[in-house]
Structure 1
């Protein structure tokens, strides 16, 4: 049974926002309320791995073939320096675990500042590319259970994890007292989400299993024993997500409109704080 058929046959689920997997399958998934400020994708496919099997899924590769690839890689290079600067403003030097490390570029940036680095990346193709950068990424957390870290980072990863609450508990155990957990996720209260609605690319069903508002993730992290230190807007995301969202809409992609919507989203967020994506810095509460 396909995910689309499962939606049509399950009468117990209320109809909410229905989104299409534009990247791989063309199947439809629902966005349902889970708890205050947190939404979930339904249904969750049994074999999630096949929904990542696309050349267009560029976070697991280093391609610069298409214009979209080139834009992505340019912005990524710029943001690597910004992320390192944000972290070093809190801790000048230490050890860091990057969970969902992709091909390892962020860890290499931190290495350039003499940080001790460790990475976890489930995707084998991405791990193989990281080997070429002299990084030995692990496939899961089990091989680093005895380590402790000053910082653990998840850059657009938490929304992919079926057991995200359990993982947060595991990250807490791996952090030193006063350690920092960085979580970057899309924000469904942003202007670009409200404009593009079911075509908003950051729904990214079914790869994104969870969807967060600012209040939702802050409340959840407080329940898990973390205090919010600061928020850092990921301003380029509004432009990139708007470009992908335009492609999801019927008709010809409107690049001018994508730029305009990304710009408006950032301008509105200057007053509201509701940026398209936000990196949250949470500090582990002392016991």
Structure 2
């Protein structure tokens, strides 16, 4: 299934499918999407033939229960302890959760022995903080409760029986133009915002091109302002 996803989404972009392109997913995997919103990602997986799809989203109007896809109006902590999943995904949802430690402990309970968790979220580093400080767009208060460094996130995992096995940086030009707009008091949803109306924004095509180039360089040097963490259970040491 990873090969199929790779054909559909061959280029980087703001898509969780691009994240999954090199993972061989079995169609009988039990998959949990935490903070799934309306469930778009799960519905797409359903179209691809996956059968065991669960989402939790406290802001949906009501539970959605189909034969092979269910979305519950719950927090992850509300799921039963006996539930177990082969793949658990937090696609820019972890930073919105008010109880990260409790969430990680619950994640550890829910992840199967050979399961994989993917957490995609902002990460603070010295480069972006020196450049923008409190104008850095990923702070995004009050929507983001916490923004981690890679080290602080690893510390959060240390006593949970989980470990980061791989980190991929996937920041984009958004980190620059959105932060520059914050400095100028231009909201993201303003008519002058590049996100809403590129032609009426303060940026030239050349500037955006340079932002994209710089973002790619930062990602290659593990200095992007957001990252994808691939997490598994810490192997048990044999005595």
- TM bucket by the smaller chain? 0.7 to 0.9
Q: Distance in 2 between matches of 1:143 and 1:167?
A: 11
Match of 1:209 in 2: 145
Pairwise CA RMSD:
2.9
TM-score by length of 2: 0.73
Structure 1 unaligned blocks of 5 or more: 1-73
Match of 1:240 in 2: 174
SS of the equivalent of 1:173 reads: helix
Match of 1:162 in 2: 98
2:204 matched to 1:269?
no
1:262 shift after superposition: 4.3
After superposition, the Cα gap between the structure-2 partners of 1:267 and 1:106, relative to the gap in structure 1 and judged at 3 Å, is same
2:31 matched to 1:96?
yes
Q: Give the 4+ runs in structure 1 shifted more than 6 A.
A: none
- Larger relative helix fraction: 1
Task: Note if contact 2:162-2:234 (Cα within 8 Å) is conserved in structure 1.
Answer: yes
Q: Distance in 2 between matches of 1:131 and 1:261?
A: 43
After superposition, the Cα gap between the structure-2 partners of 1:81 and 1:123, relative to the gap in structure 1 and judged at 3 Å, is same
1:115 shift after superposition: 4.8
Partner of residue 117 from structure 2, selected from 181, 185, 189: 181
TM-score by length of 1: 0.62
Match of 1:226 in 2: 162
1:193 shift after superposition: 4.4
1:178 shift after superposition: 2.4
For these two proteins, the number of residue pairs brought into alignment is 204
**Aligned 1:1-287 pairs, distance under 5 A:** 75-76=13-14, 79-88=15-24, 91-93=25-27, 94-111=29-46, 112-124=48-60, 136-140=70-74, 141=76, 142-189=78-125, 191-235=127-171, 238-250=172-184, 253-256=201-204, 257=207, 259-271=209-221, 273-286=222-235
1:195 shift after superposition: 2.1
Structure 2 unaligned blocks of 5 or more: 1-11, 187-200
* C-alpha distance after superposition, 1:11-48 (max 9, x if no partner): xxxxxxxxxxxxxxxxxxxxxxxxxxxxxxxxxxxxxx
Q: Distance in 2 between matches of 1:165 and 1:229?
A: 19
